[in-house]
A and B are shown apart, each in its own frame.
Chain A
Amino acid sequence: MSRFVREEYIVDGVKTVLYTAGKGEPLVFFHGAGTMDGFDFAETWTERFRVIAPYHPGWGESGDDASFTDLHDYVMHYLELFDVLGLDAFNLVGLSLGGYLAAKFASEHGHRVKKLALIAPAGVVDPDHPMLDIIAVPAEQVPPLLVSDFEILKKRLPEKATIDFTAARYRESTTLARLLWEHPADPKFMRYLHRIKIPTLIVWGDEDKIIPVQQTQLWRKLIPKAEIMVFRGAGHLVHLEKPEALEAVAKFLS
Chain B
Amino acid sequence: MSGALRFNVMHFMPYVYLPENHKEFKSTWVSFPNKYYDPEKGHELYQRYFEQLILADRLGFDAIVLNEHHNTVYSMMATPNVIAAALIPQTEKARICVWGVPPNFMLPNRLAEEYAILDVMSKGRLEVAFPLGTGMEYWSNPVNPATARDRFRESLKIILQAWKEDGPTTHYGQFYTYRFLNPWPRPYQKPYPPCYIVGTGSPETIELAAELGFGYSSVFVTQQRALELNETLRERAAHYGHTLRPEQLPLLTFVYVAETQEQAEKEYVIHLQRFFEDYARSTPQWLAPPGYISVEQLKIRSAGADRMHGGFDFKAIRTSFFIAVGTAENVANQIGEWAAKMKTNHMNNVMHVADMPHWKAVKNLTLFAEEVIPRLRPRATTVSKGDHR
User: Are A181 and B144 closer than 8 Å at their CB atoms?
Assistant: yes
User: Quick one: CB contact mask for A136-152 with B, threshold 8 Å, 1 for yes?
Assistant: 10110000000000000
Q: How far is the CB of B132 from chain A (nearest CB, A)?
A: 15
A163 contacts B by Cβ under 8 Å:
yes
User: Are A170 and B144 closer than 8 Å at their CB atoms?
Assistant: no
Residues from chain A with a CB closer than 8 A to the CB of B283 are 138
Interface hit among A14-22, A73-81, A171-179: A171-179
A136 to B285, CA, bound (A): 9
User: Quick one: CB contact mask for B112-153 with A, threshold 8 Å, 1 for yes?
Assistant: 000000000000000000000000000100111111000000
User: Are B302 and A135 closer than 8 Å at their CB atoms?
Assistant: no
Interface hit among B47-55, B183-191, B291-299, B340-348: B291-299
A190 to B289, CA, bound (A): 29
A10 contacts B by Cβ under 8 Å:
no
A167 contacts B by Cβ under 8 Å:
yes
User: Are B144 and A177 closer than 8 Å at their CB atoms?
Assistant: yes
CB < 8 Å neighbour of A135 from B147, B290, B303: B290
A166 contacts B by Cβ under 8 Å:
yes
B45 contacts A by Cβ under 8 Å:
no
A176 to B147, CA, bound (A): 12
The interface residues of chain B, by DSSP majority, are classed as helix
Whether A182 touches B302, Cβ cut-off 8 Å, given contacts A171-B295, A174-B291, is no
User: Quick one: CB contact mask for A112-136 with B, threshold 8 Å, 1 for yes?
Assistant: 0000000000000000000000011
Whether A177 touches B299, Cβ cut-off 8 Å, given contacts A138-B283, A182-B144, is no
A181 to B151, CA, bound (A): 14
User: Are A181 and B145 closer than 8 Å at their CB atoms?
Assistant: yes
B87 contacts A by Cβ under 8 Å:
no
B59 contacts A by Cβ under 8 Å:
no
CB < 8 Å neighbour of A167 from B142, B144, B291, B302: B302
Q: How far is the CB of B184 from chain A (nearest CB, A)?
A: 31
Residues from chain B with a CB closer than 8 A to the CB of A177 are 144-146, 289-291
- Most chain B beta-carbon contacts within 10 A, residue among A166, A174, A176: A174
The count of residues in chain B whose C-beta lies closer than 8 Å to any C-beta of chain A is 19
User: Are B298 and A167 closer than 8 Å at their CB atoms?
Assistant: yes
B288 contacts A by Cβ under 8 Å:
yes
Residues from chain B with a CB closer than 8 A to the CB of A138 are 283, 285
User: Quick one: CB contact mask for A90-109 with B, threshold 8 Å, 1 for yes?
Assistant: 00000000000000000000
Q: How far is the CB of A42 from chain B (nearest CB, A)?
A: 27
Per the 8 Å Cβ criterion, residues 31-80 of A in contact with B are 69
- Most chain A beta-carbon contacts within 10 A, residue among B146, B147, B284: B146
- Most chain A beta-carbon contacts within 10 A, residue among B143, B284, B291: B291
A176 to B285, CA, bound (A): 15
Q: How far is the CB of A73 from chain B (nearest CB, A)?
A: 14
User: Are B290 and A176 closer than 8 Å at their CB atoms?
Assistant: yes
Q: How far is the CB of B26 from chain A (nearest CB, A)?
A: 8
A163 to B145, CA, bound (A): 21
Could you tell me which A residues sit within 8 Å of B by CB distance? 69, 135-136, 138-139, 163-164, 166-167, 170-171, 173-174, 176-178, 181-182
A-B contact pairs, 21 of them (CB 8 A): A136-B139, A138-B283, A139-B285, A163-B299, A163-B303, A166-B302, A167-B299, A167-B302, A170-B295, A173-B290, A173-B291, A174-B290, A177-B289, A177-B290, A177-B291, A178-B146, A178-B147, A178-B291, A181-B290, A181-B291, A182-B142
Known: A167-B295, A170-B288, A171-B295. 11 other contacts (CB 8 A): A139-B284, A139-B285, A163-B302, A167-B298, A170-B298, A174-B290, A176-B290, A177-B144, A177-B146, A177-B289, A178-B144
